[in-house]
Amino acid sequence: MALEITPLGGPLGAVVHGWQPKDALSAADETDLRDGLRAHAVLVFRGQAQPTDEQLVRFAETFGDLVKGSEWFGDIAPKPEILRVNNLLDDDGVPQGTGASDSLEWHSDYSYVETVGKESFLEAVEIPSVNPPRTYFCSQYDAFDRLSPAMATRLRGLRGHHSITNYAAGGRRTPREGEDFRDDFQAKRERNRQLGLTRPDIPEAEHPIILQHPDTGREILYVSRGITRRIVGLPKDESDDLLKQLAAHSTRPECVYAHDWHVGDMIMFDTLGTLHRRDAWDPGERRVMRQMSTLWTPPANGAAA
């Protein structure tokens, strides 16, 4: 069955029907998806069978090498390329995944590492039955195109420092009754130490504020409210003010697509060319997602390699 890609009619996004996870992508389907991603930035796959972990990884690997994200977040996973984004705890109270049930601020996946996320994949396994949280997307191509010439000139050559300290460091959760609070990283580190497992530390990184996308050739604004902590070389007050301006500029409501999840939805998105965020939800409700990202190393000057 050929893929059908139908634009959503909003500021970005299209729906994809016809994906069969059990089958490898044909060359024609891969081309259609790459073209669709360039045109729409967010592709919502809907109506397919639930893929296995192996099928999900095979699909994502079609588009590039994958980040082993679960290792940075201290998880124990048979497929380290799949980051478990959920609010579940094991029998010892240790988080099974990352992110808890908190809201997550606007960000670009893995902008805090040298090899940043290029495409990302997010799939819904379980969603809350009451007030399920939305995920929101906005275009960083559009954000760049709307910059005044003076602002674009000001930003060229500047670099942002990216870090997830105090952002989503494993997520935080509400303690059970009578339980002392521990952040999720601490709980995972204790568990891994007892098991004799080592995991790499989560890094921080600097990247140009204006990047040229390696696939589309278009320039993007590469800063986010959630993860870009400061602009390198600027005084703190000037850096904070500029980042606040750019965050408001990037995420104007009329430029945002809000996704209402169905179980089984899988979203493939241009994580370089977009920002995304999510709502919080009742921590008593389960939400289970699988996430993956391809990786790319930005050049030092922001131009495409």
Return the pLDDT at 304.
66
In the three-class reduction of DSSP (H, G, I as helix; E, B as strand; rest coil), residue 175 is classed as coil
Nearest to 40 by CA among 76, 73, 9: 9
256 vs 187 pLDDT, higher one = 256
To the nearest whole number, what is the mean pLDDT of the chain? 90
Q: Environment class of residue 186 by beta-carbon count within 10 Å: exposed (0-12), middle (13-18) or buried (19+)? A: middle
151 vs 96 pLDDT, higher one = 151
How many CA within 13 A on the CB side of residue 37? 22
Q: What is the pLDDT of residues 12-51, one digit of tens each?
A: 999 999 999 999 999 999 999 999 999 999 999 999 999 9
Q: What is the pTM of this model?
A: 0.92
Other CB atoms within 10 A of residue 114 CB = 13
Alpha helices in the chain (DSSP H): 27-40, 53-61, 69-72, 140-145, 149-155, 184-195, 236-250
Under a CB-based contact definition with an 8 Å cutoff, are residues 207 and 116 in contact?
yes
CA pair distance 158, 26, nearest whole angstrom: 41
Nearest to 194 by CA among 98, 92, 89: 92
Of the pLDDT bands very low, low, confident and very high (cuts 50, 70, 90), residue 262 is: very high
Of the pLDDT bands very low, low, confident and very high (cuts 50, 70, 90), residue 116 is: very high
Return the pLDDT at 171.
38
Token pair recorded at residue 169: 């460091």
Nearest to 135 by CA among 298, 280, 300: 280
CA pair distance 50, 40, nearest whole angstrom: 24
Task: Give residue 180's identity as a one-letter amino acid code.
Answer: D
Report whether pLDDT(199) > 70: no
Range 227-248 average pLDDT? 97
Domains in the chain: ranges and CATH: 4-296 (3.60.130.10)
* Torsions phi, psi for 122 (to 5 deg): -135, 125
Report whether pLDDT(248) > 90: yes
293 forms bridges with which residues in the sheet? 120
Range 168-189 average pLDDT? 49
Return the pLDDT at 69.
85
